[in-house]
Chains A and B, each alone.
Chain A
Amino acid sequence: MTQSAWISLLQGAWTTIWVSAAAIALGVAIGFLIAILRNARIPVLDRLLTFYVSIVRATPMITLVLFLFVSAPMLPFDVAPWVVAVAAMTINTAAFNAEIWRTALVTFPREQIEAAKACGMTEHGMMRRIMLPQMVITSMPALVNEMSLLIKSSPAIAMVGLVDLTRVTNRITAVTYEPLPPILGAALIYFLMIGALVRLQRFADKYARRLAM
């Protein structure tokens, strides 16, 4: 593999990383909001959110990306491809994260909530100091699992024209007619990316435990 091929792979890897990172950051936060809102059981909103979570979890990433891309011209303003890509990935991961956060919320020990209320803590204070740190620890493995799945489903963004790592291998192969070298190179880079993510998880876990104790 030539040097320029490796450079193209690394550029594709960068696209994968920044789009996935944006979707992960937004998705984890939005998923948390959805979980809290569903827990509050507001009548119409609850129905809508349940509908959204069910539909999106059942839709493959490529279908979602293509659907948004083809519907985007119907909007009165121009939507850049990267917006479609990040939006599609965020919508997808937020639905899964909502379920993860909801589990942590629902299984949170009632005694602690009651004790906090008995001490006169506000909902906000209780969430910030008691619930969230512990919820982060219990949800961490599932959330990181979902993050790594998101990175591995990111090749769908090639459909809107963003050149991610997998699309680069396709482009290189089109010219060299030898698929194995770029695919192995890409596999190595994906391996390193997910490996870094898991390392971060260990680090974040230690940090969260220190905060929660």
Chain B
Amino acid sequence: MMNSLSTPAATGRLKTSLSRMAGCLGIVLSLGMPVAAHADRLDDAKARGVLNVVTEDAFPPYEFITDGQPDGFHKDVIEELRKYADFKVTQEQLPWTGLLAAVSSGKYDVAITGAGVTEERLAKFDYVAPISLNVSYYITRKGDDSIKSLKDLSGKTVGVQAGSSVLASLKQLDEKLTAMGGKLGEIVEYQSYPEVYADLANGRIDYAVNSVVNAAAVVRERPDTFALGNEATSGLGFIAWPVAKGNPRMVEYLTDFVNHLRETGKLAELQEKWFGTTFPDLPHESITSVEQFKALTEAK
């Protein structure tokens, strides 16, 4: 009896499709393979004698570049960390786009950068004790009379950085506007804040939203171009350093460092120097779960 495999051509076709399936399976399996488990990154860092830190390079006043060298609040913080730690601390700068991915993939031990705590990020990262407040404020063009208060933001185009905690906080702005009978307008996402401010200045967007410290900084630098909104667009939040989940001792070590800065008064001094104000009521513990974060931001 003839069956479909009896001719050489048919056998060839079967072999081809089988090999194609095997190839696809191989690709799928290798993509799905998890990264091998590892010890706490603190132990690795101590064994290596080096802590690898990553910072963004264009987020003043937390971090920015002057004459090719890192500068800003976190530069001073890392100098303090070098005095505190008994191993070397290396610092590299990355654009925000790949930064968190680089931390979670294991390339860096911690991101000592102005990262906001969000519920989505708490699924993959633990946060060291916060070093600043993360409340979103809106920024308008100076002399733009169409936006005088929060409800004027309804329906207007807003610019934020893609993948930032500020973008996530726009949900809260949406809730506030809806409660007032308005709604959130179009959201335009940019790779980093310099582009947001450029588009705000040239009129392509109606307002920008950024974390309070950064918003105050840009308005302070360019008071003739930008004006700070008079109301927050989000609830309470924190700026803290993310560490990939699964490294509790690394998080505790860095939280001890932050508390050490707090006790010696250095934290308040640096906050005053770079932000123009201190934040005395920040939590003293690491933030490792969504429930804890919700409790901390509701209690105030």
Which A residues fall within an 8 A CB radius of B? 4, 7-8, 11, 66, 69-74, 81, 158-161, 163, 167, 170-171, 173-175, 177, 179
A74–B106 CA distance with the chains assembled, in angstroms? 9
Stretch of B81-89, B188-196, B267-275, B276-284 lying at the A interface: B188-196
List 14 A-B pairs, Cβ < 8 Å. A66-B98, A70-B98, A73-B35, A159-B94, A159-B98, A160-B94, A160-B98, A173-B195, A174-B59, A175-B66, A177-B194, A177-B218, A177-B222, A179-B198
A127–B60 CA distance with the chains assembled, in angstroms? 58
Interface string of B243-281 (1 = CB under 8 A from A): 000000000000000000000000000000000000000
Q: Which residues of A contact B218 (CB under 8 A)?
A: 177
Partner of B64, one of A73, A160, A171: A171
Interface string of B43-71 (1 = CB under 8 A from A): 00000000000000111100011111000
Partner of A173, one of B66, B101, B198: B198
- Give the Cβ gap from A179 to chain B, nearest Cβ, in Å: 4
The verdict on B163 contacting chain A, using a C-beta distance below 8 Å, is no
Of residues 1 to 52 in B, which have CB atoms within 8 Å of A's CB atoms?
Answer: 35
The verdict on B197 contacting chain A, using a C-beta distance below 8 Å, is yes
Partner of A8, one of B58, B60, B68, B194: B68
Instruction: Select from chain B the residue with minimum beta-carbon distance to A8.
Output: B68
Q: Which residues of A contact B58 (CB under 8 A)?
A: 170-171, 173-174
**Assuming the A-B contacts A11-B68, A158-B95, are A73 and B106 also in contact, with contact meaning beta carbons closer than 8 angstroms in the complex?**
yes
Interface string of B215-226 (1 = CB under 8 A from A): 000100110010
The 5 A-B residue pairs whose C-beta atoms are closest, nearest first, are: A174-B58, A173-B194, A73-B106, A179-B198, A171-B65
A161 x B225 contact (CB < 8 A) = no
Of residues 190 to 233 in B, which have CB atoms within 8 Å of A's CB atoms?
Answer: 191-195, 197-198, 218, 221-222, 225
**Assuming the A-B contacts A160-B98, A161-B92, A171-B57, are A179 and B68 also in contact, with contact meaning beta carbons closer than 8 angstroms in the complex?**
no
Q: Which residues of A contact B198 (CB under 8 A)?
A: 173, 179
Partner of A161, one of B68, B93, B105, B222: B93
Instruction: Select from chain B the residue with minimum beta-carbon distance to A176.
Output: B221
Q: Which residues of A contact B93 (CB under 8 A)?
A: 161, 163
Q: Which residues of B contact A175 (CB under 8 A)?
A: 60, 64-66
Q: Which residues of A contact B97 (CB under 8 A)?
A: 66, 159
The verdict on B296 contacting chain A, using a C-beta distance below 8 Å, is no
B68 x A159 contact (CB < 8 A) = no
Q: Which residues of B contact A173 (CB under 8 A)?
A: 58, 194-195, 198
Q: Which residues of B contact A81 (CB under 8 A)?
A: 92
Partner of B60, one of A70, A161, A174: A174
Number of contacting residues on B, CB 8 A?
32
B57 x A177 contact (CB < 8 A) = no
Instruction: Select from chain B the residue with minimum beta-carbon distance to A44.
Output: B19
Known A-B contacts: A66-B98, A163-B57. Give 6 more (CB < 8 A).
A69-B102, A70-B98, A73-B35, A170-B57, A173-B58, A174-B194
- Give the Cβ gap from A27 to chain B, nearest Cβ, in Å: 23
A174 x B98 contact (CB < 8 A) = no
B192 x A174 contact (CB < 8 A) = yes
A177 x B221 contact (CB < 8 A) = yes
Q: Which residues of A contact B222 (CB under 8 A)?
A: 177
**Assuming the A-B contacts A74-B35, A161-B94, A179-B198, are A174 and B105 also in contact, with contact meaning beta carbons closer than 8 angstroms in the complex?**
no
Q: Which residues of A contact B68 (CB under 8 A)?
A: 7-8, 11
A159 x B95 contact (CB < 8 A) = yes
- Give the Cβ gap from A54 to chain B, nearest Cβ, in Å: 14
A173–B59 CA distance with the chains assembled, in angstroms? 10
Q: Which residues of A contact B294 (CB under 8 A)?
A: none
Instruction: Select from chain A the residue with minimum beta-carbon distance to B97.
Output: A159
Q: Which residues of A contact B57 (CB under 8 A)?
A: 163, 167, 170-171, 174
Q: Which residues of A contact B35 (CB under 8 A)?
A: 73-74
A72–B101 CA distance with the chains assembled, in angstroms? 12
The verdict on B148 contacting chain A, using a C-beta distance below 8 Å, is no
Instruction: Select from chain B the residue with minimum beta-carbon distance to A167.
Output: B95
A73 x B194 contact (CB < 8 A) = no
- Give the Cβ gap from A120 to chain B, nearest Cβ, in Å: 38
Q: Which residues of B contact A170 (CB under 8 A)?
A: 57-58, 95, 191-192, 194-195
